[in-house]
Amino acid sequence: MVLDPTLVWAFLTALVAGVTRGFSGFGGALIFVPLVSAAYGPRVAAPSLMVIDTLLTLPFLVPALRACIWRQVAPLAAGAVVAVPAGVWVLAHLDPMLLRWALALLGLSLLVLLVSGWRHTGRHNLPTTLAVGAVAGFCGGAAQMSGPAVVAYWLGSGQPSALVRANLFGFFALVTLASGTAYALGGMFTAEVGRLTLLLGPAYAVGLYAGARAFRGASDRHYRIAAYWVIAAAALLSLPLFDTLIGR
């Protein structure tokens, strides 16, 4: 029996993405969408992750919603929900190869921002918060990558990683409702999305559980370093230059 290298690539990607999501509260999309897009295209990868992640993170959601600070989450989510439809439109109409390059460049740009040491240390006023939320919502609609902008915003606040992680779960829950509705209206939940969800869901689940267990003993410093490496690896490996790795 000859294994399909494309499916093996996607399976391993789902496993690593699950570990990252369970550990840091974000990062699953930063790995899953760019790398699975290299194998199946963005219009299959993004909706597949939304279904997988939504179903499998429900057990983590309830305690996170109790711990998050809603006055921080709500303004960001409001800006994001407004911008989600624009991101979904880009996903539906932009050339897939061009979108893949855009996703990779987005990840690399965020990495430079984080590693540079720059932080938004000023007051998190409403206009700034709404703007960050809008950027996150657009990226979420286009690629389920709503986390990066919000992470850069919240990591600069100096808050403990546990609180940032809880806030992220609350934020993602609200944005997922918006993007899921937009995907459904756009007819993006296809048979191929269903097939990929069934194939990759188990790998993502195993990774999610392992990542959540690893987080319990992690320090804030390790949390931030892990976030940097996730962004770097996903952005670089998702470049079309590396398509030969998956047999394309």
Reply yes or no on whether the pLDDT at 247 is more than 70.
no
CB atoms within 10 A of CB 158: 10
Domain that holds residue 239: 5-246
DSSP per-residue letters across 199-246: HHHHHHHHHHHHHHHHHTT--HHHHHHHHHHHHHHHHHHTSGGGGGGG
> How large is the C-alpha radius of gyration of the chain?
17
Reply yes or no on whether the pLDDT at 52 is more than 90.
yes
Instruction: For residue 20, give both structure tokens.
Output: 């990252």
From the list 201, 169, 198, the residue with the least C-alpha distance to 69 is: 169
From the list 180, 80, 179, 172, the residue with the least C-alpha distance to 135 is: 80
Confidence of residue 11 (pLDDT cuts 50, 70, 90): very high
The 10s digit of each residue's pLDDT in 204-242 is 999 998 888 876 666 666 666 776 776 677 677 777 776
Reply yes or no on whether the pLDDT at 243 is more than 70.
no
pTM of the model: 0.82
No. of helices (H) and no. of strands (E), the chain = 11, 0
Q: Are 61 and 35 in contact (CB under 8 A)?
A: no
From the list 231, 245, 210, 244, the residue with the least C-alpha distance to 34 is: 231
The 10s digit of each residue's pLDDT in 163-175 is 887 888 889 889 9
Q: What would the mean pLDDT of 106-130 be, rounded to a whole number?
A: 72
Mean pLDDT of the chain: 83
Most confident of 63-72, 144-153, 178-187: 178-187
pLDDT for res 65:
85
Number of domains in the chain: 1
Q: What would the mean pLDDT of 11-26 be, rounded to a whole number?
A: 85
The 10s digit of each residue's pLDDT in 62-104 is 888 888 899 889 999 999 999 999 999 999 998 888 887 887 7
pLDDT for res 77:
94
